[in-house]
Amino acid sequence: MSFGSRALAAMQAYGPACVGIDPHPELLEEWGLGDTVDGLERFAAACVEAFAGQVAFVKPQSAFFERFGARGVAVLERTIADLRHTGSLVILDAKRGDIGSTAAAYATAYLDDDAPMAADAITVSPYLGFGTLAPFFAAAEQNDAGVFVLALTSNPEAPQVQHALTGTGDTVAGSILAQLRAANAGIEPMGPLGAVVGATIGQTPEDLDINGPLLVPGYGAQGGTLADLGRIFGDVRESVIVSTSRGVLSAGPDVAALRESVQRLNDDLVGSWS
């Protein structure tokens, strides 16, 4: 199945929630694990037990594993492997972006199904030029994987780049969305190329219908609300993947509490917004 088909099937089975696996130092301490590789391993294992086959998407943040060096990357490899093929799809949050053979190497590392860290999808940055993402798109097509391109992020520094006007009068964000729409055109039930659009961006004039999934961070602890989701994504809600980490992970380390937390999140999204 294509990534678009698998993403829709997962949302229909579990709901639209995506849980970020973000083992930042403060959270490891809150869980009583310590900011060590051992703490990281125990944290990741609890997340796998709580979320595998229980939630549509899980999104490990690569940087929080990489900061421990090779041993941390090894934990990330095991975490991805343990999560995949459980019914939950893994979106690796790495925000990679480069040119030529380097971009191709990143694409192979994260999207080739035989690679040690192969995920179902990856986040990428288009700000070296949209064309530099071609190796990621090609690898995604070969491996029935997905790619999420940063488009309208909610960090305060984003507007100076994303709202800037191109030579054609479109915004940079609008140009990215338009190129994703063109790449996904005609693919059913939706294309494999998605966009990252924050839940706290406010009202936007951009067309968010790209015939592909929208990964929406910022809901919950970062300030995004159900009202924001309805206002920004009301016309494309069936393709929206709502990502949160702290709002769910604060219930840990108890596995049952983590599951209850994500179930409440999905119930809120399905009952009050979807």
For residue 271, what pLDDT is reported? 83
Tell me the per-residue pLDDT of 30-56, one tens digit each, with 9 for 90 and over. 999 999 999 999 999 999 999 999 999
Position 24 pLDDT exceeds 90: yes
Position 149 pLDDT exceeds 90: yes
Q: Which residues are catalytic?
A: 95
Tell me the per-residue pLDDT of 152-183, one tens digit each, with 9 for 90 and over. 998 999 999 999 999 999 999 999 999 999 99
Distances (CA, A) of 152 to 124, 171, 256: 13, 11, 34
pLDDT band for 273, please (50, 70, 90 cuts): low
Check: CB of residue 196 under 8 Å from CB of residue 151: yes
Where do the domains of the chain lie, and which CATH numbers do they carry? Answer: 3-268 (3.20.20.70)
Position 274 pLDDT exceeds 60: no
Let me know if 40 is exposed, middle or buried by CB neighbors in 10 A (0-12, 13-18, 19+). Answer: buried
Position 203 pLDDT exceeds 90: no
Report the percentage of the chain scoring pLDDT > 70. Answer: 99
Check: CB of residue 8 under 8 Å from CB of residue 214: no
User: Is the pTM above the cut of 0.75?
Assistant: yes
Of 148, 153, 183, 179, nearest in space to 166 by CA: 179
Position 207 pLDDT exceeds 90: yes
Tell me the per-residue pLDDT of 253-264, one tens digit each, with 9 for 90 and over. 999 999 999 999
Position 236 pLDDT exceeds 90: yes
Tell me the per-residue pLDDT of 211-234, one tens digit each, with 9 for 90 and over. 999 999 999 878 899 999 999 998
- The whole-chain average pLDDT of the chain stands at 96
